[in-house]
Amino acid sequence: MHNKTIAQIARDLAAGEYSSVEITQSLLTRIEQLDKTYNSFITVTAEQALAQAKAADEQRAAGNANAWTGVPMAHKDIFCTNGVLTSCASKMLSNFVAPYDATVVSNFNQAGAVSLGKLNMDEFAMGSSNESSYYGGVKNPWDIERVPGGSSGGSAAAVAARLVPGATATDTGGSIRQPAAFCGITGLKPTYGRVSRWGMIAFASSLDQGGTMTRTAEDSAMMLNVMASFDPKDSTCVDQDIPDYTATLNNSIEGLTIGLPKEYFRDDLSAEMQQQVRDAIAEFEKMGAKVKEISLPNTHLAIPAYYVVAPAECSANLSRMDGVRFGHRCENPQDINDLYKRSRGEGFGEEVKRRIMVGAYALSAGFYDAYYKQAQQVRRLIKNDFVEAFKEVDVIMSPTTPSPAFKAGEKTSDPVAMYLEDIFTIALNLAGLPGMSIPCGQVAAEGGNPLPVGLQLIGNYFDEARLLNLGHQFQQATDWHQQAPADLA
Amino acid sequence: MALEQDQVRNIAELARLQIDENQIGEYQKNLTNILDLVDQLSTADTTGVEPMAHPLDAVQRLRADAVTESNQREHFQTIAPATDNGHYLVPRVIE
């Protein structure tokens, strides 16, 4: 039962093959057995899940079911869930039982979905390996000595380990696409503003975007149909028509032009991975797409710009964690300054503190123009590169990551080495474009386990339907998305 | 550019973060490395380039000046570290 996709579960529930309570119970049992190893969940909400499943079965019996009624899934622990711990994987929020639902969460509740719980992540979504979580690292199901990627590492590992068919996630600099690539699944980051950020704990508000983790592009389309909504409560949410993303999955891709940015196919990329990505692109050519080399000349400035904009916004956003209204408070504060400093010093982990400090420095008097303003200007140069490219091509493709999943502990002592992990994903967040990673091959790791390789598809603004169409067509022609880690097959 | 240890202490103070004195050196090293990475920005010619705050250059939406939220003080204060009579308690601020 655990190998079923969201689309299959929806069909089976409609056909009466099994009930929502049955599949929910079966996945809860599987989580209990296997997640001791992976640590992908922070909180499992078994009782609530079974109550939701029972209500969904009753709704179906009454003839009121829709596509999502009774389908199980789980949320990244960055989305507020009313009455359920929402920790953002931080000690600071380890006692924060959210008093309301995020818009994304209430969208899934209203659609009749069953939430199995809250998934592990890097603390406040800051990281590329899920090692900064207060609740411990997550193991990559393909090789438990390796990281699942981050920050949405719990979402990716849970979907790859077949603990849930789909999960919500967020992407500020690659936090959906990089873990999706490391865990061999399909991850979609929509256009900035497509999915409401209300109730999604803010890291860098001008970059954060909620998205999907699934095994197939078809499932991602089903999830995005629920997630995408215009939300007046999020002032950056965009009021624009939302298509049925499942309706165009089978469109022909004949005649589409794929752009290959030369800056993303560098010599230092492993030859084996580069070959897998090129083979995947050849698959699209077989289906009638054309390929064109393009240039995104400001690519090298993306990581420097990001590490000003993201820390600056995080230092402002995280100032609300002050030990006064919610979250961790230190023992016996001597005065108000002591209360702030010790609550924050104790509540935040190392990486979060580093980023708050970089942000506070970049925004401080005398440095604003050199850092924040210059970064926002570079951001426009990066966006303009993409705008020019999309005059010539319909979609851009590249590797998602420069290397496959690395070993736990390999990059924890060097923050800058960790930052370079996101070299192919970060520019999209700065530009606000949609991107997707789909599994397109495997390379052999030393030690023998195969490790998945991700292909990144970059779309023009609000072109999620085209990315999903391309992903679905690729998954009709290949079976990389059906490969499972050896222990789980 | 290399940060001095006193600058690290000052930034921590600005950000209201308690940092152990024996960790200042580690922060100094890591923050300096991050700022070195970021300094590549200065190589970009951004003369006349408008800073970009929102990817779609959206402007703030306006809404009618009407009450849409109800008062949920008690509900929200159930998760507060310390309250009294509907107020959030903090150490004495004014002597």
> Considering the domain boundaries, does residue A218 fall inside one?
yes
Cα B83 to Cα A47: distance, rounded to the nearest angstrom: 31
A326: nearest CB among B49, B54, B80: B80
Nearest Cβ partner for A206 among B54, B92, B93 = B54
pLDDT digits (tens, 9 = 90+) for A332-374: 999 999 999 999 999 999 999 999 999 999 999 888 889 999 9
* A288 lies in some domain: no
Give me the CATH number covering residue A432.
3.90.1300.10
Q: What count of other Cβ atoms lies within 10 Å of the Cβ of residue A348?
A: 26
Could you tell me if the ipTM is greater than 0.85? yes
Residue A344 covered by a domain: no
Return the residue in B6, B17, B21, B36 with the most chain A beta carbons within 10 A, the one to mutate for interface testing: B17
B8 to chain A: closest CA residue = A357
| Domain encompassing residue A221 | 6-256+391-488
User: And the tokens for A193?
Assistant: 């503003």
Q: Which residues of A are catalytic?
A: 76, 151, 175
Residue A292 lies in a domain: no
pLDDT < 70 regions, chain A: 489
Provide the residue count of chain B.
Answer: 95
The DSSP letter of residue B3 is P
Look at residue A264 and tell me if it is in a domain. Answer: no
Query: Nearest to residue A184, comparing CAs of A9, A442, A402?
Result: A442
Give the count of domains, chain A.
1
pLDDT single digits (tens) A415-444:
998 898 899 999 999 999 999 999 999 999
* CA-based nearest residue to A143, from A465, A453, A435, A447: A447
pLDDT digits (tens, 9 = 90+) for B21-58: 999 999 999 999 999 999 999 999 999 999 998 888 78
pLDDT in the model for residue B26: 96
Helix, strand, coil content of chain B in percent (nearest 5): 40, 5, 55
- Say which DSSP state A159 is in: H
d(CA A167, CA A117) in angstroms, rounded, equals 10
Question: Quick one: tokens of B1?
Answer: 């550019």
Domain presence at residue A368: no
- Single out the residue of A156, A197, A77 nearest to residue A400, CA to CA: A156
Predicted pLDDT at B2: 82
- For chain B, the structural domain boundaries read 5-43
Pick the CATH number of B5-43 from 3.40.50, 1.10.10, 1.20.272, 1.10.20: 1.10.20
Binning pLDDT at 50, 70 and 90, where does residue B60 land? confident
Domain assignment present for residue A447? The answer is yes
Tell which A residues from 452 to 481 touch B, by Cβ distance under 8 Å.
461
User: CB A329 to CB B81 under 8 A?
Assistant: yes
Q: What is the pLDDT of residue B92?
A: 87
Contact: A380, B54; criterion CB under 8 Å: no
Q: For B39, which residue in chain A has the nearest alpha carbon?
A: A304
CB B56 within 8 A of CB A432: yes
Contacts of B2 (CB under 8 A, 6+ apart): B32
CA distance B46 to chain A (A): 6
Quote the pLDDT of residue A489: 57
For residue B33, give the chain A residue with the closest CA.
A416
- The string of DSSP letters for A163-231 reads S-SEEEEEESSSTTHHHHHHHT-EEEEPPTTSB--TTB--SSTTT-EEEEEESSHHHHHHHHHHHB---
How far is residue A384's CA from residue A430's CA, in Å, rounded to a whole number? 11
Is residue A397 helix, strand or coil?
strand
Q: Which of B33, B42, B78 sits opposite A415 (nearest CB)?
A: B33
- Say if the Cβ atoms of A374 and B41 lie within 8 Å: yes
Residue A232 domain-assigned (yes or no) = yes
